[in-house]
A and B are shown apart, each in its own frame.
Chain A
Amino acid sequence: MSEEPLVKMRDVWLEGRSDETWNPIINGVDLTLQKGEVLGLIGESGAGKSTLGLAAMGYTRDGVRISKGTVEFDGIDLLTASAAVKRELLGKRIAYVAQSAAASFNPAHKLMDQHVEGPVQHGVMGRGESEEDGMELYRKLRLPNPEQIGFRYPHQVSGGQLQRCMTAMAMSCRPDLIIFDEPTTALDVTTQIEVLASIRDIVEQFNTAAIYITHDLAVVAQMADTIKVLLKGDEVETADTRTMLSAPTQEYTKSLWAVRSFERPLKPAVHTGSVPVVSVQNVDAAYGTVPVLHDVSFDMHEGRTVAVVGESGSGKSTTARCITGLLPPSAGQIMVDGEVMPPDYRKRSKDQLRQVQMIYQMADTALNPRMSIGQIIARPVEFYLGLKGAEKRKKVDALLEQIELEPSQYYHRLPSELSGGQKQRIGIARALAAEPKFIICDEVTSALDQLVAEGILRLLARLQDELSLTYMFITHDLATVRAIADEVVVMKDGRVVEQGPKVEMFKPPHHAYTDLLLSSVPEMDPDWLTNLLTERGVDNIGDAAVDKM
């Protein structure tokens, strides 16, 4: 048994149905997983990593089929196994942790009721025993108040806690295999650390095999023993984590690794006394009666990129809403080019509106799905610059060329016919069409794959050099900050905690919170998480916890 691998997938081909035909998703991938081994599956979105992960359970989503190959789990052929045999395996010996815990828990039942369902259903334990075991697991996963937390409803705990509850639920039957499908993608960096550490400990402790699906290389470096890289349904390479990180053999893998090395050259310091393009002065703001921003002040100078960083809920986007005028500040003012802006956008003149443009995080919701690319970009051209007919078309074509898309090919397409990165480029073109001085970029790269995100960052940097634009770059990703920012503003709980040029910000000494943020960004070093936890003085749970198995 020890020599037999736990999961053996041989020459697996998967197909998905769209437009009445079957299109390939995975083309003949092999996958072997030993007992207790953690395999990292990485690739861009659309590479088929989730589909492959699910296929390891012998399961496919609707409209997907396994057209060829074998999937064996502990010697059992999952593709030909009867429904009864599969029922016995799934949940009990194979478990799955989904990307969004918030969407996967039933909001109408308490966490513990959902936790005990698996063990009771499979006859592993009785209800009482299972509840006690659940508390034990919650303790091992370092959830606060482990005796009580199970009796809350999913909406009463935070996102990171919910993700750990789901891991506990997956562990409830002590499975031999857990499939983690991007379990930390939706979390803040500081929360991500806790979840990662908990998952790693518990997987090690129970000697569970795991398939860890993610697009974040630094995360997978912490978790996996082996890494498999997928590209458009084909396997690129598989290797031991350390080998893979230090000496990737394939071009594609190297390019993935290289993304993080993009960094702009430093710009000379701003002349003292020059008028900032946008100046936020002592701004307070509130949603209804709930205060969100407290005395926020910072300046943004021409041709510079100011990165505003902080966790979700720190007031980054609210500051942007104040600058655009969507949320009139309750105190303080916004100045553009030394001129005080009316607080409400409805009171601003067309020209004042034109100067401040925005690029959104979700390109999907930022572009009207019923308008063609040409219409979307032409509207601000017509609206602000008053161009019509051939002149308008010429301007739109020029803009499309500026964002590196072939005008004749894209002019008549709908947003749904574009990839995520291309949509984001259209968002940039729409902002540029107004010929603004200042652009707010609200998490523009966080929904994109790393390679695509890098392309967008390079494009933004080039446009800045050409048009001397000023960017306010809202992000929670410090790698992005390192790549593009000139100045950094750190926010927490609606206050500016620290601000200054990037060079100074990445050099100690920091404000305690900046330090926490900086140290929480996963690095490519596989020992990073272990070192960090030792440094922070968190004991590796293993010692304290009682192994009941």
Chain B
Amino acid sequence: MIWFVAVLLGIAVLAWLFRWKGQQIDWSEYNAKFRDMPFSVAYGYILGLSILLWLYWAYIQGRSLHPETANKFFFLRIAIEGFIIFAIAAWVFRLFGRSVGTAGTKKLFRSMPLTASFGILTILIYAFLAIFAAFIAPYGQEQIVPGVAANIIPGGDPALGGNPDFPLGTDQIGRDILSRLIYGAQNTVGIAFATTVLAFLLGGTLGFLAATLGGWLDQLLSRAVDVLMAIPSLIFALLLMTIASVWAPQLGIPLTFFMVVIIAVIDSTRVYRLARAVGQNIVVMDYIEAAKLRGEGLGYLVFKEILPNATAPLLAEFGLRFCFVFLTIAALSFLGVGIQPPLADWGTMVRDLGGFVNFAQFAPMAATAPLLAAGAIALLTVAVNFVVDWMLQKSSGLKE
């Protein structure tokens, strides 16, 4: 505690010195900047610099040969290395996009921020893995290779307990984690995508209808949605999944189908709210009035006049909703009612290997096993949001 206060005070002194020195030196164009710089801004600069220096120091520590020190900073080291590698990959990808392709795509890449190019690259890689999982994965998703031990540590270094044939190790019953991660992309991402699309078809259509027609239909739909939203969504989903797990074998329909429908219905309530709110803002526009007075039908109003003007907020919501659905599926699988074993699913993988996290302090390599699947989820979520942010920025810029 005392150290913490001392560091903050030290930074304050440094910040004051930094500003004072800046005011002394004659830099012509920076003079006004230093003169009008509030103390808080100077503090921010110094704080940022200190954090950067500390990160650098920690990275050096993580690289140290002394295993105890290295272990302590292991995850930070991975994070920093990952960050740099991804940044370079995104930059190269953008460079590639700028020089290859049609004039349209080149123009698109030229105005693209690095975050968006990272997002697109990541999503493309995920999509590629999901589609060609069967060809890429070295083993099957449920395949237990005979004679191979369970719980092989990731890294593939025999000296540390790894196995070069299984670069990311094996799980608790000896299945290859790399293969399961690749198949997981197919199962988890594919199902999440289908669910989100369904939720948008349902919620979007009803929301626009409610906004356009108003009156009792709007009241009825909105109150129904209120009731659905009043129930905590995860618990509601759990309840319905439990019921569905009884019905599924009787009706001969896969449980996954029920899961898609249930999550889509629950999530469509949020989409409905957004579509209705956006729709209501558009419906009061004069061009809608003009179309109504022309005698246009409902279909034309919704799909030709309202929908094109609502794409930007809906697209942003699609990105977010996709992540939420994705996390819901992972959560349900984690709780054991989602995607059923032996199908590979990232949520299930986190649950099954979760115990290893306890070893993080002593054997970071062992603890990475559950973090691989968790990282896959996190990475996709971040990537989707980057792309959506960029799209939003583009479409809002277009309006001006």
Contacts and interface: CB of A to CB of B under 8 A. Distances in A.
Contacts of A513: none
Contacts of B294: 353, 379-380, 383-384, 434
Contact of B295 (A84, A358, A360, A383): A383
A370 B309 contact: yes
B290 interface: yes
B292 interface: yes
A353 B297 CA distance: 13
Given A368-B305, A369-B309, A370-B309, A350 B295 contact: yes
Contacts of A434: 294
Given A368-B309, A369-B309, A370-B309, A353 B290 contact: no
Given A348-B295, A369-B399, 6 more contacts: A83-B36, A345-B295, A370-B309, A383-B295, A416-B398, A416-B399
B289 A326 contact: yes
B42 to A, nearest CB: 14
Nearest to A368: B287
A7 to B, nearest CB: 21
A384 B294 CA distance: 8
B341 interface: no
B285 interface: yes
A82 B35 contact: yes
A368 B289 CA distance: 11
A384 B398 CA distance: 32
B293 interface: yes
Interface in B1-52: 32, 35-36
A360 B290 contact: yes
A366 interface: yes
B81 interface: no
Given A82-B32, A368-B309, A416-B399, A345 B287 contact: no
A161 B218 CA distance: 39
Interface string B301-326: 00001001100000000000000000
Given A80-B32, A82-B32, A416-B399, A366 B287 contact: yes
Interface in A354-378: 356-358, 360, 362, 365-371
Interface residues of B, number: 19
Interface in B210-240: none
Interface of A: 80, 82-84, 324-326, 345, 348, 350, 353, 356-358, 360, 362, 365-371, 379-380, 383-384, 416, 430, 434
Interface in B52-94: none
A322 to B, nearest CB: 13
B286 interface: yes
A370 B293 CA distance: 19
Contacts of B32: 80, 82
Nearest to A349: B295
7 contacts: A82-B35, A326-B293, A345-B293, A353-B293, A370-B309, A380-B294, A384-B294
B397 to A, nearest CB: 9
Contacts of A366: 285-287, 290
Contacts of B157: none
A366 B305 CA distance: 12
B308 A368 contact: yes
B352 interface: no
A371 B309 CA distance: 10
B165 to A, nearest CB: 52
Interface of B: 32, 35-36, 285-287, 289-290, 292-296, 305, 308-309, 398-400
Given A82-B32, A83-B36, A416-B399, A365 B293 contact: no
Contacts of B290: 358, 360, 366, 430
A534 B290 CA distance: 47
- 6 nearest A-B pairs in the assembled complex, by CB-CB distance: A370-B308, A366-B286, A83-B36, A360-B286, A368-B287, A365-B286
Contacts of A371: 308
Nearest to A84: B36
Contact of A345 (B35, B292, B399, B400): B292
Contact of A365 (B36, B287, B305, B398): B287
Nearest to A430: B290
A353 B295 contact: yes
A345 B398 CA distance: 35
Contacts of A370: 308-309
B157 to A, nearest CB: 50
A341 to B, nearest CB: 12
A167 B205 CA distance: 49
Contacts of A368: 287, 305, 308-309
B355 to A, nearest CB: 52
A357 B293 CA distance: 8
Contacts of B285: 365-366
A383 B291 CA distance: 11
B33 to A, nearest CB: 11
A366 B294 CA distance: 13
Contacts of A383: 294-296
Nearest to A357: B293
Which of B290, B292, B398 has the most C-beta atoms of chain A within 10 angstroms of its own C-beta?
B290
A366 B285 CA distance: 7
B288 to A, nearest CB: 8
A416 B400 CA distance: 7
A362 B293 contact: no
Nearest to B292: A345
Nearest to A380: B294
A353 B305 CA distance: 19
A350 B400 CA distance: 36
A82 B36 contact: yes
Contacts of A384: 294
Which of B32, B35, B285 has the most C-beta atoms of chain A within 10 angstroms of its own C-beta?
B285
B212 to A, nearest CB: 13
Contacts of A82: 32, 35-36
B214 to A, nearest CB: 13
A187 to B, nearest CB: 23
A365 B400 CA distance: 13
B38 to A, nearest CB: 8
A279 B188 CA distance: 66
A83 B286 CA distance: 45
A430 B296 CA distance: 14
Contacts of B399: 369, 416
B300 to A, nearest CB: 9
A383 B292 CA distance: 12
B284 to A, nearest CB: 9
A369 B294 CA distance: 18
Given A368-B309, A369-B399, A416-B399, A362 B286 contact: yes
A367 B400 CA distance: 15
Contacts of B286: 360, 362, 365-366
Which of A345, A358, A365, A430 has the most C-beta atoms of chain B within 10 angstroms of its own C-beta?
A365
A357 B309 CA distance: 24
A172 to B, nearest CB: 26
A138 B36 CA distance: 37
A174 B353 CA distance: 73
Given A80-B32, A82-B32, A367 B287 contact: yes
A325 B293 CA distance: 8
A400 B400 CA distance: 25
A160 B296 CA distance: 40
